[in-house]
Structure formats: C-alpha cells, structure tokens
Chain A
Amino acid sequence: MHPDDLSFIFLNAFIINNFVLAYFLGLCPFLGVSGKLNTAWNMGLATTFVMFVSSLCAYGLNQLLVQYHLEFLRLISYIAVIASAVQLVEMIVKKTSPALFRALGIFLPLITTNCAILGLALFQTFKEYSFVQSLVYSIGAGAGFTLALMLMAGLRTRMDLADVPAISRGAALSFMLAGLLSLTFMGFAGLGTH
C-alpha cells in the first residue's frame, strides 16, 4: 500500500501508530475512564466525534491561515475550535442522555485538553493531508482511541478480580497493563508497508 492511500492512512492511525499506545496521546482519559466497558465505549464515541469535527475545522482554518501568512496563530485557533466542538458535544450529550452525562463527569469537558485531539489536528497539518485524507485520518485515530480504551477497560475489569499485591493496585498496575498492550501493538509495525 502507498502511504497516501486512504486505507493505509486509516490503518496507520487505527492500529499501526495507535494514538494512545504508540504516541502517548490522550493518556488522561485512557487511565481515567477505562474502569467500565460501557463508559469506555461512550467516551470513545464522544472523542471520535470531537476528533472528526475538529479535524474538519482545522483543515479549513489551516488553508485560511496559510493564505494570509498567519501560521503563528495556528495553535491558538486550533485550540479555540476544539474547545467549541467539545462544548457542542457536551450540550448534545446533556440533552440526549443525562445518565451518560453523569457517567462521563469531569472527563467530558476535559476532552478539550485531550492531547489526542490537538495532536491529530497538528499531525494532519504537518503531514499535509488533503481534505479527504484528513477526515479518514481523524476517523482512524478516533477508532484507535476507542479500541485502546475498550481493551484497557476489559483488562481492568478482569484485573479487579486478580490477586495482586496491595501497593500495585491502581495506577502502577494500569501502567504495566498499558505497557503490555503497547508491546502487543508493536507487532503491527510494518503492516501494509510492502
């Protein structure tokens, strides 16, 4: 597959260079909301939606900024767009499902400071993706984030029943699990390159 192929861009963001497990982006929700499978799935969906919207806006904005030679405003304008997109999602979730709104809690507004989203906007700019490529990239990244979150949630649900030393309960164990997951995902490296 050619690196510019849409299928490769998707696969690359989805598993080969998974945003969480290879780039360490979006670790806060990855460790914070991965307690239950259901919450993890919803968080993944919300994040994917925000990624899609902000990727769309970031592409348009970047065209505008480049045209007027205002590249130094890129960071500020991207973050403003992301904050607005998150506000939108927050309103939708609050209206349609108050129970989900409570379950996601503080992590919903914190999607703004989820580095995976700003990271996505920046990476697609650096890689000079076209409009369609950017959209596919954002969907792939969102799917990869959701996958990582759900795998982690599943592992942690199992781990709750395991007999581990008291001091390793909590964060330390989560990091070890994440390390193993990341090691597993390294097996996908080189996929689709020949």
Chain B
Amino acid sequence: MANPASKQKPITADTFLRGLWEENPVFVMLLGLCPALAVTNSAINAIGMGGATTFVLLGSSALVSLLRKLIPKQVRIASYIVIIATFVTIVDYAIHALSLELYNALGAFIQLIVVNCVILGRAESFASKHRLTKSLVNALGVGVGFTFALLCLGSVREILGSGTLFGFPLFGDSYQPWVVMILPPGGFFVTGAWLLLFAWLKERKQRKVTQEKETVHAPG
C-alpha cells in the first residue's frame, strides 16, 4: 500500500508533466514500443493510435484507482489486465464504428493495446496508489506524452517515406520518396535517430551544468 505522505501530496504541474517529458514512455522509459513502431507509418495513424491508447489509459487508471482498496494484492495484475482488456474492447468497437479506414490501417494493433506495458505500468505503479483525480491527471500526461512520441515518429516517417504530412503533399512531384522509411526498417532507424538526438541534448545539458559548477567553484 502507498505510504500516507504521498497520498496527501497535492496535484502539481509535475504530476502531468513528468509523464509528458521527463519520463516520456517511449523515448525515455522505452515502453510501449511495439505500437509506437508498428503503426507510425503516417502521422494520422500515429494520432489515432495515441488517442486510443490515451483513452484506455484514462479509463483503466480511473477504474483501478477507484477499486484500489477492493482488489486483493495477490490477483491485482490479473484484475488490471481484465480492466484494461475491457476498455480496449470498447475502443476496438468504437473505432470500427467511427472510422473503418483507421480501423483497417491499425488492424490488430488496436486489440494489442492490452499488452502495451505503458498502461499496465501506470496501473501498477501509480493508479493503484493514488486518488482518482491525481491518477487521471497523471494518466493524461502519460497519454499525451505517448501520443507526442508517436507523432514525432509518424510525421518524420511520413515526410521522408511518402513526401506528405497528414496526407498533404509537401515537396511536389519531383520528390523521390524514401520508401524504406514507411517499411519496418524505417521504424527502427527513425526511433534510433530520435533516441540519439535526445541522448545528445541530455549530454549537452549535463555538460553545461558541470561547466557552470566549475566556474562557480573556480574563484573560491
């Protein structure tokens, strides 16, 4: 069970922002990679997948948080999975009804949201220990962070791989698309490139901090 101190902490901007940036599920935690790579061959698919995942994340976090005192510890993982599977079934039928085009593009990956470790991770490490509103804010942060990461991957892959963004052509007819980018290898390459970029930014920031420390300490 959670310690009482953490329960009384108010909701801060950090509750939301942590999942969005500092602990971004895809780029920092390396969770939920399967859908992140599989459906991001266009920006619109990325948003569809991100939206569906965010909905499941919100729903399951709310229910887990409400039921957190009723679920016995021994069967908690199984209970979380059943809760998540319920919401995924809802999303699956909803997308099927709303947009057949998106449904066909995402295929089995809508149902595979069940095994997205981001959602189970949130249920286990946050929603089962915090109040409803706080869990919802946190889940929203993580969901937006996930969607953001997917959009980063999807837009780069779509621009390079088909020369379009959200279906609008960007470069004119002379552009020769890098077809490999919308094929599976492109998913790995683009993710690798984004990770490299983030690692480089992080290293630069750290170097700046240590340099500042040195200049402060130098006179004394």
A105 within 8 A of B: no
Q: Which residues of A contact B183 (CB under 8 A)?
A: 186
With A178-B188, A179-B189, A186-B184 as contacts: A119 and B196 at CB distance below 8 Å: no
Tell me how far the C-beta of A170 lies from the nearest C-beta in chain B, rounded to whole angstroms. Answer: 8
**A175 adjacent to B189 (CB under 8 Å):** yes
Binds B, one of A6-14, A26-34, A51-59: A26-34
Q: Which of A24, A75, A112, A167 contacts B34 (CB 8 A)?
A: A24
Binds A, one of B85-93, B128-136, B208-216: B85-93
B94 within 8 A of A: no
Binding site of B, secondary structure by majority: helix, strand, loop or mixed? helix
A118 to B88 alpha-carbon distance, docked (Å):
13
**B111 adjacent to A31 (CB under 8 Å):** no
A131 within 8 A of B: no
Binds B, one of A60-68, A76-84, A153-161: A76-84
**B108 adjacent to A83 (CB under 8 Å):** no
**Which chain A residue has the least Cβ–Cβ distance from B28?**
A171
**B34 adjacent to A25 (CB under 8 Å):** yes
Q: Which of B89, B188, B196, B203 contacts A179 (CB 8 A)?
A: B188
**A113 adjacent to B115 (CB under 8 Å):** yes
**Interface set, chain A 116-155, CB cutoff 8 A to B:** 117-119, 122-123, 126
**Which chain A residue has the least Cβ–Cβ distance from B82?**
A76
Q: Which residues of B contact A110 (CB under 8 A)?
A: 117
Q: Which residues of A contact B92 (CB under 8 A)?
A: 75
A25 to B203 alpha-carbon distance, docked (Å):
31
Tell me how far the C-beta of B97 lies from the nearest C-beta in chain A, rounded to whole angstroms. Answer: 13
A113 to B84 alpha-carbon distance, docked (Å):
12
Count residues of B near A (Cβ-Cβ below 8 Å): 40
Provide the A1-41 mask, 1 if CB < 8 A to any CB of B, else 0.
00000000000000000000111111110010000000000
**Which chain B residue has the least Cβ–Cβ distance from A113?**
B115
With A76-B85, A171-B30 as contacts: A182 and B184 at CB distance below 8 Å: yes
Q: Which of B93, B112, B199, B203 contacts A115 (CB 8 A)?
A: B112
What would be 17 A-B contacts, judged by CB atoms less than 8 Å apart?
A23-B38, A28-B31, A28-B117, A31-B30, A76-B89, A79-B81, A80-B81, A115-B116, A118-B112, A167-B196, A167-B203, A172-B195, A172-B196, A172-B199, A175-B188, A176-B189, A179-B189
A residues in contact (CB < 8 Å) with B:
21-28, 31, 72, 75-76, 79-80, 83, 110, 112-115, 117-119, 122-123, 126, 166-168, 170-176, 178-180, 182-183, 186
